[in-house]
Amino acid sequence: MEKKLEKLKETIATLADIGGVQAILGWDQQTYMPPGAAEMRGQQTATLGRLAHEIGTSPELGKLLDELRPYAASLDPDSDDARLIKFAIRDYERATRVPADFVVEQAQVVTLANQAWAEARGKSDFSIFRPHLEKIMELTHRFVGFFPPADHPYDILLDAFEPEMKTADVKAIFDALRPQQVELIKAIAAQPQVDDSFLHQPFDEQKQWDFGVEVITKFGYDWQRGRQDKSAHPFTGGPGVNDVRITTRVTPDFLNSMLFGTMHEAGHAMYEQGVAQTLVRTNLIGGASLAVHESQSRMWENLVGRSYPFWQHFYPALQEKFPQLAGVPLDTFYKGINKVQPSLIRVEADEATYNLHIMLRLEIEMALIEDKVAVKDLPEVWNAKINEYLGVTPPNDSQGVLQDIHWSWGLFGYFSTYALGNLISAQLWEKINQDIPDLDEQIRQGKFDALLGWLRANIHVHGRKFMPQELVQRVVGSKIDSAPYMRYLRKKYGEIYSL
């Protein structure tokens, strides 16, 4: 069986190499690729997708996996080899349901759609993106049709990002969370609003960039295995582990975009960089799920980056870079960056309202999958939903339905993971503070080694070895639970707004 296992590992390594090249091409498309190369890039990614699909669905691989099933059952279920076989079987069973010509077509469609989205967002004109999104929705419905009927068709899409999570589970979590967040937002709205006007003024773009680099370097982002560039929508990309690239965007008259976007993406990247080297070129690299991944990015962005101890350390350096903040006291600055105000842009939303942005996207995606909403009506539906959820109305498409990149890549089923990640981050944070009682003091001193070390040992090193709910259960003793997140929000905003 050892020879068969080695054969499986060789096949998986080949697939990992192809995936790594695809990741680099995707990163390049979002950063440096000239617009005129979109069609050619679509052909390249389609070819790689077809090759990966052919290897990953070959009868030979299926026979090999059947032969290895009994062997896997004899291994320690938590061993790398047992998990590698388990996930290889899962990936094979999912991939063999999707025809190769569909994979090729999808790669070509989303590459062109992404370029169209970028143009549409820049011109704030949904009509440019609409035909591409209609094609993506057609492909999405076809994709769902390749699988046996689920409790809800959205389950099939969700499973790609949050393995074994059901739509009903997510809805139950959100239904319990929504009224609590709405109640908190109403309580905050009844209090005098904090001032954040000092964040809306000119800030030198290079100095913003340099400050962000200083912060994530202290966090522990490894520049020998990563780099940072600019993109229209911040993201983390690259083959993973030893090549994890991040992007950010810099707004010349608003500090928060670069500041917290950079921390967010560094959180994703440090997760990838922390995966065990023994898992390189296997199917166990990457994170347990998108929600677990988001727990890392949201933790560094919010629980660390928007905390008072963090700014006790970093605020003097920020003031030195930007003298216009010299007259803004630390307490005022801290309250300003944590101001709660319903807003249009998800990635710039405060912690108290952020999950509502996710819930409205989930509702729209489910309506699209259920054929209750047509693509042509999305701008109107979006505007109505965000007004219903947050009481704001987008002045144009770029600040409304076009603000997120995800649909242009065909990523339906993705959005709920952001809110689930918030919940996991708070669960982990409570456990971390139990294990590192002086964590606030360490952050106050600009020391993050113990925090990153805890995350590496408990989350990062495992890569994809465990299912998300299983991993959370192992680390904190319970599955995904909203209670710690609400405790965190009530304490933090209770202090800021004197509730």
Sheet holding 245-248, edge to edge: 228-230, 245-248, 236-237
Residue 417 token pair = 């993971």
pTM higher than 0.75: yes
Query: How confident is residue 380, by pLDDT bands cut at 50, 70 and 90?
Result: very high
Distance (Å) of CA 151 to CA 148, 155, 302, 410, 434: 10, 7, 35, 22, 39
For 369, how many CA atoms within 13 A lie in the half-sphere containing its CB? Answer: 24
The answer, yes or no, to whether residue 348 has pLDDT greater than 90, is no
Instruction: Using DSSP, state whether 246 is helix, strand or coil.
Output: strand
pLDDT-derived band at 1, boundaries 50, 70, 90: confident
Contact predicate 283/84, CB 8 Å = yes
Vertex 307: Cα angle to 302 and 313 (nearest 5):
125
Tokens of residue 373, six digits:
């909403």
Residue predicted with more confidence, 228 or 35: 228
- pLDDT confidence bin for 159, thresholds 50/70/90: very high
Q: b/e for 296-330, b at 16 or more Cβ within 10 A?
A: bbbbbbbbbbbbbbbbbebbeebbeebeebeebee
Tell me which H or E stretch contains 237. strand 236-237
The CATH number of the domain covering residues in 167-496: 1.10.1370.30
Q: Which positions ≥6 away from 85 have C-beta within 8 Å? A: 5, 8, 65, 68, 69, 71, 72
The 10s digit of each residue's pLDDT in 453-469 is 999 999 999 999 999 99
Q: Which pLDDT value is given to residue 81?
A: 97
Residues 138-166, mean pLDDT to the nearest whole number:
96
**CB atoms near residue 456 (< 10 Å):** 18
Tell me which residues are annotated as active site: 265
Look at residues 302, 347, 362, 340 and name the one whose alpha carbon lies nearest to residue 174.
Answer: 362
Cα torsion through 141, 143, 146, 148, rounded to 10: -70
User: Domain spans of the chain?
Assistant: 2-149, 167-496
Give the CA distances from residue 430 to residues 9, 297, 424, 426, 437, in Å, rounded to whole numbers and listed in that order. 38, 16, 10, 6, 10
pLDDT confidence of residue 17: 97
Q: pLDDT-based confidence at 232, cuts 50/70/90?
A: confident
Position with higher pLDDT, 42 vs 314: 314
